[in-house]
C-alpha cells in the first residue's frame, strides 16, 4: 500500500510539472512568432542586400557591345582645282584622292570605369541602409502593438478564472446551506419557500458559471489564433511578477521610427551633396568596321580608342542646395512630431500611474470590507437558523460577501493589468522576466 501511494504521488508530481502553463511573457513571444507579418522582416534584409549589391556594381567596369550599319546621302569630299593650264602636267593625274563611301558598317566594344564619383555610390548605400533601419523599426512597432491585444486577452481570461473560483466556492456554500435548511423546514422553523429561494440562487450561480465558461472558451480561441497553440480551459495561468519601481522614461518603438527617419533624411542630404561633385571616368573602345578611323581608307579595319572623361555641373541655379534645405526642414518637422508623440505617451503614463495608485488603495480597503461582510453573513445565517431571518436575507449577505471577495481579486488583477499598461506605454514591457 505504501509503495502504491508513493507511485501515485510520483505520477501526480510528474503530471503537474509536465503540464503546460500560460504566462503573459510566453503568450507575447508566441504571438510574435506566429504573427503572419513577421515573415516580412525576413524579407527586408535580402531586399536591402540586392539593392546594396546593385549600387556597389557601379564601381565595376561597364561593358557595352554594339553594332551599326548605315547609309548617308552625302560624305566629305576634296576637289582639286586646276592651278594653271600652262603647266606641263595635270595635278588631277598626280594626286589621287579616294572617295569616301556613303555606306558604313561597324561593331564596337565600349568599356567605361568610374575613377572618382564624389562618393555618390558610397552615400547611396548608406541611404539604403537608413531606409532598411526605418522599415525594421516600423516592423518592431507593429509587433509591439500586437502585445497590447495579448495583454487584454490575458487579463480578461485571468479575471474570468478568478470569478469562476469564487462562483465555485459560493455554489458549494449554498448547497451546504440547502442541506442544513431542510431540517429547519421540516421542524417548522423555516417555511418551505426558503428552500425554493435557495435552489433558485444555486441555479443562478450555475448559470453564471456556464456563461463564464463560454466567455473563457471565446478568449482561449482568440489566444490560440494569435499564438498558434492549443490552450485549454484547465491550463494553469501564472500571474506575472515584476518590479513595480517604474521610471518615467519613454522608450517606445514608435519614437525609434522618428529617429530612424531623421537619420534617413540626413543620409539623403549627404547623397544630394555628393551629386554636386565632378565625376572622373576612364573609357575605351575597340572596334572593327568599314571604314575604320581613317575614313578615306575604303576597307574593313580595326581600331582602338582610350581616354579619360570629366563630367561636372558647376552651376545648377541652387537647385541642389534648396533640395538639401527641404530635407533639413523635414528633419525639423519629424523632431517636432516625435516630441508631440512622446508627450502623448507621457500623459497616458501619468493617467495610468494614477489608476494603479487607485487600485492599490482599493486593495487595502478590501480586506476590511471582506471581514465585515463575513460577520454580517454569519449573523444572517444564525438568524435564519433561529427563524428570525429569512433565506433571502441570508442570500443577500452571502452574495455581498462573495462579491467583496471577487472585487478584491479583480482589484489585484486590475492592478497587475494597470502596471502592465505602464510598462506597455513606457516601452519596457519586453524587459519582463520569463
362-416 pLDDT, tens digit each: 999 999 999 999 999 999 988 887 878 888 888 899 989 999 999 999 999 999 9
Residue 98 pLDDT: 77
- Count of residues in the chain: 434
Q: Are 402 and 170 in contact (CB under 8 A)?
A: yes
Q: Are 422 and 252 in contact (CB under 8 A)?
A: no
Instruction: With CA atoms as reference, report the closest residue to 83 among 97, 70, 95.
Output: 95
According to the model, what pLDDT value does residue 434 have?
58
Would you state the cell numbers that stand for residue 107, as one nine-digit string? 561593331
pLDDT of residue 258: 97
Which residues in the chain show pLDDT less than 70? 1-19, 80-95, 243-247, 431-434
Sheet holding 301-311: strands in order across? 62-71, 103-116, 279-290, 301-311
The backbone torsions φ and ψ at residue 61, rounded to the nearest 5 degrees and listed phi first, read -65, 145
pLDDT reported for residue 33: 93
Separate counts of helices (H) and strands (E) for the chain: 9, 4
Looking at residue 388, what is its pLDDT? 83
Q: What pLDDT is stored for residue 3 in this prediction?
A: 40
- pLDDT tens digits, residue range 293-305? 888 888 899 999 9
Grid cell digits, residue 234? 484547465
The answer to whether the beta carbons of residues 287 and 106 sit under 8 Å apart is: yes
Amino acid at each position: 500500500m505504501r509503495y502504491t501511494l508513493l507511485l501515485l504521488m510520483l505520477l501526480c508530481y510528474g503530471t503537474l510539472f509536465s503540464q503546460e502553463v500560460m504566462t503573459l511573457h510566453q503568450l507575447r513571444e508566441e504571438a510574435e512568432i506566429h504573427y503572419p507579418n513577421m515573415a516580412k522582416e525576413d524579407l527586408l534584409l535580402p531586399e536591402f542586400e540586392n539593392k546594396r549589391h546593385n549600387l556597389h556594381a557601379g564601381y565595376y567596369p561597364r561593358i557595352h557591345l554594339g553594332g551599326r550599319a548605315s547609309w548617308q546621302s552625302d560624305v566629305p569630299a576634296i576637289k582639286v582645282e586646276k592651278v594653271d593650264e600652262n603647266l606641263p602636267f595635270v595635278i588631277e593625274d598626280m594626286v589621287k584622292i579616294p572617295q569616301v563611301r556613303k555606306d558604313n558598317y561597324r561593331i564596337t566594344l565600349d568599356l567605361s570605369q568610374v575613377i572618382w564619383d564624389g562618393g555618390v555610390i558610397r552615400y547611396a548605400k548608406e541611404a539604403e541602409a537608413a531606409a532598411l533601419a526605418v522599415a525594421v523599426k516600423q516592423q518592431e512597432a507593429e509587433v509591439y502593438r500586437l502585445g497590447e491585444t495579448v495583454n487584454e486577452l490575458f487579463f480578461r481570461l485571468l479575471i474570468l478564472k478568478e470569478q469562476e473560483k469564487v462562483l465555485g466556492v459560493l455554489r458549494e456554500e449554498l448547497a451546504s446551506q440547502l442541506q442544513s435548511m431542510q431540517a429547519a423546514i421540516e421542524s417548522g422553523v423555516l417555511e418551505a419557500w426558503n428552500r425554493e429561494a435557495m435552489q433558485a440562487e444555486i441555479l443562478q450561480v450555475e448559470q453564471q458559471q456556464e456563461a463564464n465558461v463560454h466567455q473563457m472558451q471565446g478568449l482561449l480561441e482568440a489566444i490560440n489564433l494569435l499564438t498558434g497553440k492549443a490552450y485549454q480551459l484547465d491550463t494553469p495561468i501564472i500571474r506575472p511578477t515584476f518590479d513595480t519601481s517604474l521610471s518615467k522614461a519613454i522608450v517606445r518603438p514608435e519614437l525609434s521610427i522618428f529617429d530612424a527617419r531623421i537619420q534617413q533624411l540626413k543620409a539623403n542630404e549627404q547623397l544630394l551633396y555628393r551629386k554636386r561633385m565632378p565625376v572622373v571616368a576612364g573609357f575605351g573602345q575597340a572596334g572593327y568596321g568599314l571604314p575604320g578611323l581613317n575614313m578615306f581608307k575604303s576597307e574593313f579595319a580595326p581600331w582602338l580608342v582610350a581616354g579619360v572623361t570629366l563630367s561636372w555641373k558647376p552651376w545648377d541655379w541652387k537647385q541642389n542646395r534648396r533640395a538639401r534645405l527641404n530635407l533639413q526642414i523635414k528633419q525639423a518637422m519629424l523632431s517636432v512630431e516625435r516630441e508631440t508623440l512622446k508627450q502623448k505617451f507621457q500623459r497616458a503614463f501619468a493617467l495610468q500611474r494614477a489608476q494603479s495608485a487607485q487600485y492599490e488603495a482599493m486593495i487595502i480597503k478590501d480586506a476590511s470590507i471582506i471581514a465585515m461582510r463575513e460577520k454580517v453573513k454569519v449573523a444572517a445565517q444564525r438568524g435564519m437558523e433561529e427563524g428570525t431571518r429569512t433565506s433571502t436575507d441570508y442570500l443577500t449577505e452571502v452574495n455581498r460577501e462573495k462579491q467583496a471577495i471577487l472585487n478584491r481579486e479583480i482589484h489585484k488583477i486590475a492592478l497587475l493589468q494597470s502596471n502592465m499598461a505602464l510598462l506597455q506605454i513606457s516601452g519596457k514591457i519586453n524587459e519582463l522576466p520569463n
